[in-house]
Homo-oligomer: A and B are copies of this chain.
Amino acid sequence: MELVKELVKEGGKILLAVLDGLGGLPVKDGRTELELAKTPNLDALAKNSALGMHLPVDYGITPGSGPGHLALFGYDPVKYRIGRGVLEALGLGLEVDERSVAVRANYATVKYENGKPVVVDRRAGRLPTEENRRITRRLAEEIKEIDGVKVELAPGMEHRLAVVFRFPEPLEEGSDAVTDTDPQATGLSPLEPRPLKPQAERVARVAVKFLERVAELLKNEPKANFMLLRGFAQKPKLEPFSERYGLKAVCVAVYPMYRGLARLVGMETVEPKEPTLKGQIETLKELWDRYEFFFLHYKKTDSYGEDGNYEGKVKAIEEFDAHLPELLELKPAVLAVTGDHATPSVLKSHSWHPVPVLVHSPFVLGGYEAFNERTCLKGELGTFPGKKLMQLLLAHALRLKKFGA
């Protein structure tokens, strides 16, 4: 892993387009979503590209969005774990830095027996999202900090929200070793957040005080009169992308989670003016002169895959294909198209299958007829670990020196 860092040098611009959940399985006439989609631009590009498949984590392992993206960015997703709380907070648009502990939270209903809360509904009757927003806004106004620790809240869907405790200074590793408060069953009292390591004591203390204030503020709510905390987590210690690869990098993503994942590795992030692929590409154009690495995240392929809507996924692929010429007009030295994992419509979920990769550059064998799972399987890049993709992109952008004389 250190080797690549020894070898980085200046070179061309790299554009990495991630079609979330790109890979698929046969859905009709034995053909996959990518095979069914009419993709004249991607197919033409395949003639002058290297094709292959990447395996995001390991054989048979289905990655979440966190591990999938860490691998694409060149970090070992088994070594660097992104905790649940962190992912939830990033997804809801909160910042998670080295001073933060992030937590998944949800509203619950309790009744009081001898002054002690007992859980009646662990999800507060699946609170309407609008109610959640109202209550979370109120809590955020009332609880801005606890003992000098900033508290940030962001509402999610239904009963879910994210909490970030932001300390004045960077936290030691292990500060997130705090137990969940969800008793996992009704009729039981919520648990106290308990530290499992000495460096987690301060975090647990803040959490206890936070929950006391929440209980006080919510006591008159009919349903959401309590909060449960799970998945206390810090961000993993990662060498910043810019130091590792000598690249000034920016992410253009519509969804907060992907901007958050990019920020975890130290990329800058920009929210496109419009939440569409067109809007993203316009933003890319504006940023083009100021960066060397561009991470474009396209979500629709995954969303339709998760819904089991293969026609939607096919259309999403076709929409991306229609915009491909605009990406090529930017004239990146290397344009890569891939996914962070497969999301086959037949599985309605992420899957363990390898993910098609296209690397467009002058320094390839090329000659492929189309871009899909089957052509990629026969491609010159073979099936390779996802975390090696960055090395390949740097090489094709002539950004790596020769190793040894």
Complex: chain B residue closest to A80, CB-CB: B404
* A170 located at the interface, meaning its Cβ lies under 8 Å from any Cβ of chain B in the complex: no
Residue among A57, A88, A352 with the most chain B CB within 10 A? A352
Known A25-B363, A25-B364, A30-B366: A60·B405 in contact at CB below 8 Å: no
Binding-face segment, A62-70, A114-122, A149-157, A222-230: A62-70
Q: Could you tell me the distance between the alpha carbons of A58 and B3 in the complex, rounded to whole angstroms?
A: 10
* A377 located at the interface, meaning its Cβ lies under 8 Å from any Cβ of chain B in the complex: yes
* A403 located at the interface, meaning its Cβ lies under 8 Å from any Cβ of chain B in the complex: yes
Residue A404 contacts which of B53, B66, B352 (CB distance < 8 angstroms)?
Answer: B66
Residue A352 contacts which of B64, B87, B395 (CB distance < 8 angstroms)?
Answer: B395
Let me know if B61 and A405 touch, CB within 8 A.
no
Known A82-B404, A403-B62, A404-B81: A374·B365 in contact at CB below 8 Å: yes
CB-defined contacts of A390 to chain B, threshold 8 Å: 60
What mask results when residues 362 to 379 of chain A are scored 1 for a CB within 8 Å of chain B, else 0? 111111000001100111
Known A61-B3, A65-B405, A404-B66: A363·B382 in contact at CB below 8 Å: no
What mask results when residues 284 to 308 of chain A are scored 1 for a CB within 8 Å of chain B, else 0? 0000000000000000000000000
CB-defined contacts of A373 to chain B, threshold 8 Å: 365, 380
CB-defined contacts of A379 to chain B, threshold 8 Å: 377
* A350 located at the interface, meaning its Cβ lies under 8 Å from any Cβ of chain B in the complex: yes
* A309 located at the interface, meaning its Cβ lies under 8 Å from any Cβ of chain B in the complex: no
Let me know if B67 and A25 touch, CB within 8 A.
no
Nearest Cβ in chain B — how far from A106, in angstroms?
15
Let me know if B61 and A26 touch, CB within 8 A.
no
* A402 located at the interface, meaning its Cβ lies under 8 Å from any Cβ of chain B in the complex: yes
Complex: chain B residue closest to A379, CB-CB: B377
Nearest Cβ in chain B — how far from A243, in angstroms?
18
Binding-face segment, A123-131, A180-188, A316-324, A341-349: A341-349
CB-defined contacts of A392 to chain B, threshold 8 Å: 59-60, 352
- 12 additional contacts, CB 8 Å, given A30-B367, A84-B405? A4-B60, A7-B61, A30-B366, A57-B403, A59-B391, A59-B395, A62-B403, A64-B405, A77-B404, A87-B405, A367-B374, A373-B380
Q: How large is the interface on A (under 10, 10 to 19, 20 to 34, 35 or more residues)?
A: 35 or more
Let me know if A62 and B402 touch, CB within 8 A.
yes
Let me know if A58 and B363 touch, CB within 8 A.
no
* A78 located at the interface, meaning its Cβ lies under 8 Å from any Cβ of chain B in the complex: yes
* A400 located at the interface, meaning its Cβ lies under 8 Å from any Cβ of chain B in the complex: yes
Complex: chain B residue closest to A385, CB-CB: B59
Residue among A61, A374, A390 with the most chain B CB within 10 A? A61
Let me know if B67 and A365 touch, CB within 8 A.
no
* A383 located at the interface, meaning its Cβ lies under 8 Å from any Cβ of chain B in the complex: yes
Residue A365 contacts which of B26, B57, B349, B403 (CB distance < 8 angstroms)?
Answer: B26
Q: Could you tell me the distance between the alpha carbons of A185 and B148 in the complex, rounded to whole angstroms?
A: 54
Let me know if A62 and B405 touch, CB within 8 A.
no
Q: Could you tell me the distance between the alpha carbons of A64 and B7 in the complex, rounded to whole angstroms?
A: 12
Q: Could you tell me the distance between the alpha carbons of A137 and B126 in the complex, rounded to whole angstroms?
A: 74
Residue A378 contacts which of B4, B65, B346, B378 (CB distance < 8 angstroms)?
Answer: B378
* A17 located at the interface, meaning its Cβ lies under 8 Å from any Cβ of chain B in the complex: no
